[in-house]
Homo-oligomer: A and B are copies of this chain.
Amino acid sequence: MAEFGKVVIFGVGLIGGSFALALKSARAVEEVVGFGRRPASLREAQDLGIIDRAGINPAHELEDADLVLVATPVGQMPDLFAQIAPYIGPHTVVTDGGSTKCDVTQAAYAAFGDRVAQFVPSHPIAGAENSGAAASRSDLYQGRKVVVTPLPENQDEALDRVKRAWSLCGADIYELSPEQHDRVFAAVSHLPHVLAFALVKDLAERPDAALFFDFAASGFRDFTRIAGSHPEMWRDICLANRTALLEEIEAYQAQLNDIKAALARHNGEHLEQSFNVAREARRAWGHRQK
C-alpha cells in the first residue's frame, strides 16, 4: 500500500505537477486529483499522467484526502484557503508551495481557524524559467531545498507528513520561522528579481535602447536572466512580501549610495575594498555550491 492515499493538488503547474510526478515516481501515492482554473490545463495534466483525474467540486474531494498541496500563485491563496477550509477531513493535512510565508500563514489562520493545526506552510526552492503542467518533472525537487515554516499549532504528525512528502520528492528539508523565511528570501530572491527588472526596464525605455542592447554581453545576460520571469507571479510575490522587501530595498539603496559616494569622491580604495568584500563572499558561496 502506498504511503499516501489521496493527494489533492490545487494549481497543477510546474510546482504542483512536479510534486505529483515525484510522488508517483516514488510509488508513494494511490491517487492524485487536480484542480485548476483552466480545464484545458487539467486535461493536459491528465494526459501527461501527472494527475489521475481532474476534480469537479472540492466539497467532494477533501474529506478523505491525506494531503492537499496548494500550488497556486500566492495572491490566490487567501480565497482558495477559504474555499477549501470547510471541507477538509479530520485527518487531512494541507500545505502550500508559496514563495512567501508570513502572508500565507496569516491567510491560513483566517481561513482554517481552529483547524489551522492541519495547515503546514512550506516553500520548495525550485523555480525554473518554464512554467505550466507540461514543464513538470519528477526530478524537479531532487537535491533541492524545501523550507517548512511550522505553526505553533502544528502537531508532529501533520508536520512529519508534509516533511515526508517533500523528502519522497528528493528534497532536503529545512525549518525556519515564517518571519525568518520571508526576510531571507526577500534578500536572496525577491530583491535580485526587482533589481534585474529595474535594470532592463531602465534600458528598454530609452529612445536609443537598441544601441545599448546591441553591446550587452555575457555579464548582462546572466545578471538579467531573472528579468525574464513571470510578471504576474512576481507582482504577487512582491506584494505578498512587501514589508520585508521594502526593508531589503532600503538596505540595498544604502549600499548603492555608499558606492556612488565613493565614486563621486574618486575614492578608489573604498571602491576596491567594497568590491573585494563582495568577491570574497561570492567566491566562498560558489565553492560551497559545488
B188 and A216 form a contact (CB under 8 A)? yes
Complex Cα spacing A263 to B191, Å: 12
Could you tell me which residues of chain A, from 251 to 290, have a CB within 8 Å of some CB in chain B?
A: 251-253, 255-256, 259-260, 263-264, 266, 268, 271-283, 285-286, 288-289
Query: Closest Cβ of chain B: how far from A100's Cβ, in Å?
Result: 13
A268/B235 in contact, CB under 8 A: yes
**Binary CB contact string for chain A from 233 to 260 against chain B (1 if under 8 A, 0 otherwise):** 0111011001001100111110110011
Interface of A is mostly: helix
Tell whether, in the assembled complex, residue B213 and residue A196 are in contact, meaning their CB atoms are under 8 Å apart.
Answer: no
> Which B residues lie within 8 Å of A196 (CB)?
223, 278
A226 within 8 A of B: yes
Number of A interface residues in the complex (CB < 8 A): 87
Contact with B along A201-225 (1 / 0, CB 8 A): 1111100010111111111111111
Q: Once the chains are docked, how many angstroms separate the CA of A118 from the CA of B225?
A: 41
How near does chain B come to A186, taking the closest CB pair, in angstroms? 10
> Which B residues lie within 8 Å of A288 (CB)?
213
Partner of A259, one of B197, B256, B259, B282: B197
Q: Is the CB of A222 within 8 A of B219?
A: no
A254, closest chain B residue (CB)? B202
Contact: B215 with A188, CB < 8 Å?
Answer: yes
Q: Cβ of A55 < 8 Å from any Cβ of B?
A: no
Q: A residues bordering B, Cβ < 8 Å?
A: 125, 127, 145, 147, 174, 180, 184-185, 187-189, 191-205, 209, 211-232, 234-236, 238-239, 242, 245-246, 249-253, 255-256, 259-260, 263-264, 266, 268, 271-283, 285-286, 288-289
Q: Which of A127, A212, A230 has the most CB of B within 10 A?
A: A212
Whether the Cβ atoms of A278 and B238 lie closer than 8 Å is no
A222 touching B226, Cβ below 8 Å? yes
Indicate which residue in B189, B249, B280 contacts A217 across the interface (CB closer than 8 Å).
Answer: B189
Contact indicator B246/A263 (Cβ below 8 Å): yes
Residues of B within 8 Å of A223, CB to CB, are 192, 195-196, 222-223, 225-226
Shortest distance from the beta carbon of A161 to any chain B beta carbon, whole Å: 23
A53 to chain B, nearest CB (A): 33
